[in-house]
Amino acid sequence: MESKDFKITRLGTPRIKSPLRRQDFVADGATVAYDTDAKVLTKYVTDNQEIPAFELAGPREKIFHDPAWSKAAILTAGGICPGLNDVIKFLTSTLIRHYKVPVVYGIPYGYRGLDPAYGLSPIMLTEEMTDDIHEQGGTILGSSRGGVDSEIIVDTLDRMGINLLFCIGGDGTSRGAHDISIAAAKRHLAISVICVPKTIDNDIAFIDKSFGFESAVSQAGFFITGAHAEAKGAYNGIGLVKVMGRDSGFIAAYSTLANSFVNYCLVPEVPFTLEGDGDRALLPNLEQRMAKKHHAVIMVAEGAGQDLFETGGDEVRDASGNRLHKDIGLLLKDRINQYFKKRNIEINVKYFDLSYTIRSVTAHGADAVFCAMLAQNAVHAAMAGRTDMVIGHWGDNFTHVPIALATGQRKKIELTSPLWSSVKSTTCF
């Protein structure tokens, strides 16, 4: 952790009295230490080093932007995720009700909505129109992926007089926001660019939890119960469940642990082979289990086992003969069937692709509370003149995280972590 930079960019000195109530203010200079072990923490001090720490999020007594002169814009980019509308709703209500910001634009279809070439008009967001949007999945603003010329966007922000930009999206979106904040700074435009990080995969570095993740995991549980019913209902039944998780298997791991019907949990972080006699040879292990128990549930993250496609070359094709996106779920389904067919063992594989189904639900319970508080802290950060940052969460606190730090690497399941130990302890290998 030596060289990580936790420093947040500020647009200038906050001089305006916040309209919020006094007792809620966070002390300037409050932090959240990155480490938790007392010995490690002590050593920093005895070594005369600063304890590495995030800036604590929250409302400040003095703010930078004058609400009366402010205009805000909110956009969502990337795939949908539970809680997007909760975040939009609470950004809007905090800006309007608490800071009395007079104008809040909803930007349609992500960054595209800020590029005049697309001819998309912004929506005026009000408290009334966002009052019950948290009861819908997806995003009322629409989303899009990809390409953003930060100069064009800053042109638009400048022209529209927007000084508060909220970007809800993933890694790409955050990097775009970083470029925008740099470009704005070069033009001496005092625009706060704040990201609310979105990833159904829960894989943002330096942030311990991302919104929507828990609602998606809850939802997955429902299907795992179904896959288990299918597996037990047929002779030698196998329920094969694919979830999202391109680079990290948090959804798969949490879903496995939350629903102890899962017997195999395959994630990108942990290699496995199909055949062979290694510890993690899936099919021989599965064969043993079928002989004993006659049913099994397999959970696979979409990014798992990508090495298995190497040799297979172009055999995975779609209906039109185009190469498939290397769908590990379909590959597993085929290989399992071949393996047992060759051995003359009847099996019945039922395949459940949950990719979209668990991300289009609404956020609920504590996850919805998390969305609300992320949004409120994003507004506090913006009003206080912070920029080029994402709202994070560490331990039990909301934090300010520089975009460069959050996007510098991706969080993965550590194989020595309590999470993976727990997963291993409830599964077959």
Query: Which lies closer to a second copy via its Cβ, residue 10 or residue 364?
Result: 364
| Region 295-324 residues binding a second copy, contact defined as CB under 8 A | 312, 315-322, 324
Q: Which part of the chain contacts a second copy (CB under 8 A), choosing from 62-70, 82-90, 173-181, 278-286?
A: 82-90
Q: Which of 300, 347, 368, 383 binds a second copy (CB under 8 A)?
A: 368
Residue 285 touches a second copy, criterion: CB under 8 A: no
Query: Which lies closer to a second copy via its Cβ, residue 12 or residue 128?
Result: 128
Q: How far from chain centre, in Å, is Cα 218? A: 15
Residue 205 touches a second copy, criterion: CB under 8 A: no
Residue 150 touches a second copy, criterion: CB under 8 A: no
Q: Which part of the chain contacts a second copy (CB under 8 A), choosing from 8-16, 192-200, 354-362, 402-410?
A: 354-362
Q: Which of 9, 18, 174, 259 binds a second copy (CB under 8 A)?
A: 259
Beta-bridge partner residues of 397? 394
| Region 38-77 residues binding a second copy, contact defined as CB under 8 A | 38-39, 41-42, 45-46, 50-53, 56, 58-59
Least separation in angstroms between CB 329 and a second copy = 10
- Per the CB < 8 A criterion, the answer to whether 227 and 241 are in contact is yes
Query: 174: alpha, beta or left, given left = phi > 0 and alpha = psi -120 to 50?
Result: alpha
Q: Which of 16, 274, 353, 428 binds a second copy (CB under 8 A)?
A: 353
| Region 173-202 residues binding a second copy, contact defined as CB under 8 A | none
| Region 227-256 residues binding a second copy, contact defined as CB under 8 A | 227-230, 232-235, 254
Written in H, E and C, the secondary structure of 41-65 is: HHHHHHCCCCCCEEEECCCCCEECC
Rounded to whole angstroms, the Cα distance separating 131 from 160 reads 26
Query: Which lies closer to a second copy via its Cβ, residue 372 or residue 403?
Result: 372
Query: Which lies closer to a second copy via its Cβ, residue 71 or residue 98?
Result: 98
| Region 394-423 residues binding a second copy, contact defined as CB under 8 A | 394-398, 415-416, 418-419, 421-422
Rounded to whole angstroms, the Cα distance separating 174 from 187 reads 20
Q: Which part of the chain contacts a second copy (CB under 8 A), choosing from 19-27, 61-69, 152-160, 175-183?
A: 19-27
Q: Which part of the chain contacts a second copy (CB under 8 A), choosing from 164-172, 182-190, 372-380, 382-390?
A: 372-380
Rounded to whole angstroms, the Cα distance separating 114 from 108 reads 8
Residue 330 touches a second copy, criterion: CB under 8 A: yes
Backbone phi, psi, residue 206, to 5° = 65, 15
Least separation in angstroms between CB 19 and a second copy = 12
Rounded to whole angstroms, the Cα distance separating 326 from 313 reads 10
Distances from the Cα of 4 to the Cαs of 333, 370, 388, in angstroms? 43, 26, 16
Q: Which of 208, 271, 284, 287 binds a second copy (CB under 8 A)?
A: 208
Residue 93 touches a second copy, criterion: CB under 8 A: yes
| Residue 22 burial class via C-beta count within 10 angstroms: exposed 0-12, middle 13-18, buried 19 and up | exposed
Q: What is the DSSP string of 194-210?
A: EEEE--TT--BTT-S--
Rounded to whole angstroms, the Cα distance separating 281 from 275 reads 5
For strand 386-387 and strand 192-197, is the pairing parallel, antiparallel, or unpaired?
A: unpaired
Least separation in angstroms between CB 217 and a second copy = 4
Q: Which of 65, 134, 175, 198 binds a second copy (CB under 8 A)?
A: 134
Least separation in angstroms between CB 385 and a second copy = 20
Number of residues forming the site for a second copy (CB under 8 A): 119
Q: Which part of the chain contacts a second copy (CB under 8 A), choosing from 7-15, 284-292, 327-335, 384-392?
A: 327-335
- Residue 262: partners with Cβ closer than 8 Å, 6 or more residues away: 224, 241, 255, 256, 297, 298, 299, 426, 427
Beta-bridge partner residues of 400? 55, 391
Rounded to whole angstroms, the Cα distance separating 312 from 9 reads 48
208 catalytic, yes or no? no
Residue 37 touches a second copy, criterion: CB under 8 A: yes
Determine which helix (DSSP H) or strand (DSSP E) holds 69, and give its type and residue range: none
Tokens of 287: 């064969």
Q: Which member of 86, 179, 201, 203 is catalytic?
A: 201
Residues with catalytic roles: 201
